[in-house]
Protein backbone atom coordinates (compact mmCIF):
# COMPACT_ATOMS: atom_id res chain seq x y z
CA UNK A 1 0.00 0.00 0.00
CA UNK A 2 1.55 3.28 -1.13
CA UNK A 3 0.88 6.38 1.00
CA UNK A 4 0.74 10.10 0.26
CA UNK A 5 4.05 10.44 2.09
CA UNK A 6 5.59 7.79 -0.23
CA UNK A 7 4.37 9.72 -3.27
CA UNK A 8 5.90 12.90 -1.89
CA UNK A 9 9.22 11.10 -1.39
CA UNK A 10 9.16 9.63 -4.93
CA UNK A 11 8.49 13.14 -6.25
CA UNK A 12 11.58 14.32 -4.38
CA UNK A 13 13.67 11.47 -5.84
CA UNK A 14 12.41 12.21 -9.37
CA UNK A 15 12.95 15.97 -8.93
CA UNK A 16 9.32 16.82 -9.63
CA UNK A 17 7.56 19.13 -7.18
CA UNK A 18 4.00 17.93 -6.59
CA UNK A 19 0.96 19.89 -5.48
CA UNK A 20 -1.20 18.60 -2.62
CA UNK A 21 -3.91 17.75 -5.15
CA UNK A 22 -1.44 15.73 -7.27
CA UNK A 23 -0.16 13.86 -4.21
CA UNK A 24 -3.70 12.76 -3.27
CA UNK A 25 -4.68 11.85 -6.82
CA UNK A 26 -1.47 9.92 -7.53
CA UNK A 27 -1.69 8.02 -4.23
CA UNK A 28 -5.05 6.58 -5.23
CA UNK A 29 -4.05 5.92 -8.85
CA UNK A 30 -0.67 4.38 -7.98
CA UNK A 31 -2.31 1.87 -5.65
CA UNK A 32 -4.71 0.77 -8.37
CA UNK A 33 -1.92 0.54 -11.00
CA UNK A 34 0.48 -1.28 -8.64
CA UNK A 35 -2.34 -3.72 -7.78
CA UNK A 36 -2.54 -4.50 -11.48
CA UNK A 37 1.24 -4.98 -11.65
CA UNK A 38 0.97 -7.53 -8.81
CA UNK A 39 -0.26 -10.06 -11.37
CA UNK A 40 3.40 -10.67 -12.19
CA UNK A 41 3.60 -12.44 -8.81
CA UNK A 42 1.60 -15.29 -10.41
CA UNK A 43 4.70 -16.24 -12.38
CA UNK A 44 8.07 -17.04 -10.87
CA UNK A 45 10.18 -17.08 -13.97
CA UNK A 46 13.45 -18.96 -13.63
CA UNK A 47 14.78 -17.38 -16.81
CA UNK A 48 17.39 -14.69 -17.49
CA UNK A 49 16.08 -11.11 -17.73
CA UNK A 50 15.81 -9.68 -21.27
CA UNK A 51 17.49 -6.27 -20.97
CA UNK A 52 17.18 -5.92 -24.73
CA UNK A 53 15.72 -7.88 -27.59
CA UNK A 54 18.79 -8.36 -29.75
CA UNK A 55 20.93 -9.92 -27.01
CA UNK A 56 23.65 -7.27 -27.38
CA UNK A 57 26.23 -7.17 -24.62
CA UNK A 58 28.83 -4.66 -25.78
CA UNK A 59 29.18 -2.67 -28.96
CA UNK A 60 32.66 -1.39 -29.67
CA UNK A 61 33.94 1.02 -32.27
CA UNK A 62 37.46 1.91 -33.28
CA UNK A 63 39.14 4.36 -30.90
CA UNK A 64 39.27 7.17 -33.44
CA UNK A 65 38.97 10.87 -32.65
CA UNK A 66 35.87 12.35 -34.25
CA UNK A 67 34.29 15.77 -34.39
CA UNK A 68 31.41 16.80 -32.16
CA UNK A 69 28.79 19.51 -32.03
CA UNK A 70 30.22 23.04 -31.99
CA UNK A 71 30.04 25.06 -28.77
CA UNK A 72 27.79 27.62 -30.46
CA UNK A 73 25.33 24.93 -31.55
CA UNK A 74 25.33 23.38 -28.09
CA UNK A 75 24.62 26.75 -26.47
CA UNK A 76 22.05 27.84 -29.01
CA UNK A 77 19.02 26.45 -27.13
CA UNK A 78 20.18 27.38 -23.63
CA UNK A 79 17.65 29.71 -21.98
CA UNK A 80 20.39 31.24 -19.79
CA UNK A 81 24.06 31.42 -20.70
CA UNK A 82 27.09 33.50 -19.88
CA UNK A 83 29.93 33.74 -22.34
CA UNK A 84 30.84 30.22 -23.35
CA UNK A 85 28.91 28.54 -20.53
CA UNK A 86 25.44 27.33 -19.58
CA UNK A 87 24.24 29.33 -16.60
CA UNK A 88 22.66 27.13 -13.94
CA UNK A 89 21.13 27.74 -10.53
CA UNK A 90 23.43 27.66 -7.51
CA UNK A 91 24.17 24.20 -6.11
CA UNK A 92 25.20 25.17 -2.57
Any idea what the Cα angle at residue 4 is, between residues 3 and 8, rounded to 5°? 120
Tell me the number of residues near other proteins by CB under 8 A. 52
* Closest distance of CB 5 from other proteins, Å: 13
What CA–CA distance (Å, rounded) separates 33 from 31? 6
Instruction: Give yes or no for residue 22 binding other proteins (CB under 8 A).
Output: yes
From residue 51, how far is each of 34, 44, 56, 74 by CA, in Å? 22, 18, 9, 31
Q: Which residues bind other proteins (CB under 8 A)?
A: 2, 6-7, 10-19, 22, 26, 29-30, 32-34, 36-37, 39-40, 42-43, 45, 47-54, 56, 59, 61, 69, 73-74, 76-80, 86, 88-92
Amino acid sequence: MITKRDVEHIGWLARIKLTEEEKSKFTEQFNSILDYFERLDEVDPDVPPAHNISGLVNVFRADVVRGSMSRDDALDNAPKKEGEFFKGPRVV
